[in-house]
Amino acid sequence: MDRRQALGLLAAGAAPLAGAAQDLTPARPLPFRLRSRFWMNLHHTLAEAFQPRSQRGEWRQPQGWSAQETRDWLEALQAYRHAFAEQDLLDDDRFQALRLALLGLGDSQPLPAMDAALRPLAQALSQAAAPYRRQLWPAHDAANQAWMQEARTRLASWGPALRERLEAVLQPALPELILVDLVPLSGDRRGAYTDGQPPHTVMPSLREDYQGDAALEMLFHEASHTGMDDRLREDIEALLAPRGLQDRKQLWHAVQFYTVGHVTQRLLSVSGRDYLPYAQRRGVFGRGWAFAVEPLDAHWQPFLEGRRPRAQALAGLVAACYPA
């Protein structure tokens, strides 16, 4: 998921599929800096805990905590609920301004001074810090560390090749650095999300559908939201503009999902791994992009496999998805 709102107010053809990373000489350093940070985890844990659809009831109604810990936690949780219950967290300026304020904060550092609009939420974070550090943080950090270890193993084997292939297909290069903060859950049902300025991904380590080889796809899916998908958006809009249309169906996002999943699947298959892309496994295209499934297979897949020029493939795809 891409976030592009300003937050200043508050704070050519397809290349052949490459092999595994160890076959590339030399390999460029990957941009991902995977981290597990206390304050970022607390921020997103509070956001997740008040969600009615969350299955983490033990975060909403602590058991076995001291009376003071329980009181401090529930008061902080109520502050988050009051602020964000009616909001889309990914589009809420206060939630995202808090994220940016916590971005460089070390685990033992105090919260920085906040804008007046954020001070009640900063107070909630401070109030929840002690019970969180004692009761939940050790398990959350352990889950984050385990996810990072698995992801690093896969990135070492396939990351450079996947980066090279996606940059060849989508063409803008990835940034030199993408901070990836692991949190237990993000507070948003859609899972991971990314902000391009600065390049930063929040990745939920406890989601079952982000485990194993899916971690590789989702890291690069989120990374492509840091600007790699810009040309794709622009080219689709340019094809629609002469007809007075805009990409209101978000075809660009369907193409991006399809591209990263397909390229990951092909790359892993070279190593004998059977992988079903995330969008197919989770029925993503059935939730608004069913119109794009057949056109993607008919027009875009041949481009990804080097059998059709990009311009021809994209023109056919857009015409099929936006018929006269």
pLDDT at 259 over 90: yes
Share of the chain above pLDDT 90, in %: 87
Identify the band that residue 155 occupies on the pLDDT scale cut at 50, 70 and 90.
Answer: very high
Q: What is the pLDDT of residue 13?
A: 34
Q: What is the pLDDT of residue 19?
A: 39
Interstrand relation of 178-183 and 2-3 (parallel, antiparallel or unpaired): unpaired
Per domain, the residue ranges of the chain are 37-137, 146-321
pLDDT at 8 over 50: no
pLDDT at 154 over 60: yes
Pick the closest to residue 140 from 195, 77, 131 (CA basis): 131
pLDDT at 24 over 50: no
Query: What are the backbone dihedrals phi and psi of residue 33, each rounded to the nearest 5 degrees, phi first?
Result: -115, 100
pLDDT at 18 over 90: no
pLDDT at 16 over 50: no
Share of the chain above pLDDT 70, in %: 92
pLDDT at 21 over 80: no
Is 227 or 125 the better-scoring residue by pLDDT? 125
Neighbour count for residue 145 (Cβ, 10 Å): 14
Q: What is the pLDDT of residue 128?
A: 98
pTM value surpassing 0.85 = yes
Residue 320, token pair as written in the block: 């099929």
Distance of CA 154 to the CA centre of its chain: 17
pLDDT at 31 over 70: yes
Q: What is the pLDDT of residue 2?
A: 45
Q: Which long-range contacts (CB under 8 A, 24 or more apart) does 245-252 make?
A: 245/322, 249/288, 249/289, 249/291, 249/292, 249/321, 249/322, 250/288, 250/289, 251/289, 251/292, 251/317, 251/318, 251/321, 251/322
Question: What's the distance, Cα to Cα, between the start and end of the chain in Å?
Answer: 29
Mean pLDDT score across all residues of the chain: 91
pLDDT at 9 over 70: no
The Cα 86–Cα 77 span in angstroms is: 14
The Cα 21–Cα 209 span in angstroms is: 24
Q: What is the pLDDT of residue 26?
A: 61
pLDDT at 130 over 90: yes
pLDDT at 300 over 70: yes
Give SS3 for 32. strand
Q: What is the pLDDT of residue 171?
A: 85
pLDDT in tens, 39-95: 999 999 999 999 988 989 999 999 999 999 999 999 999 999 999 999 999 999 999
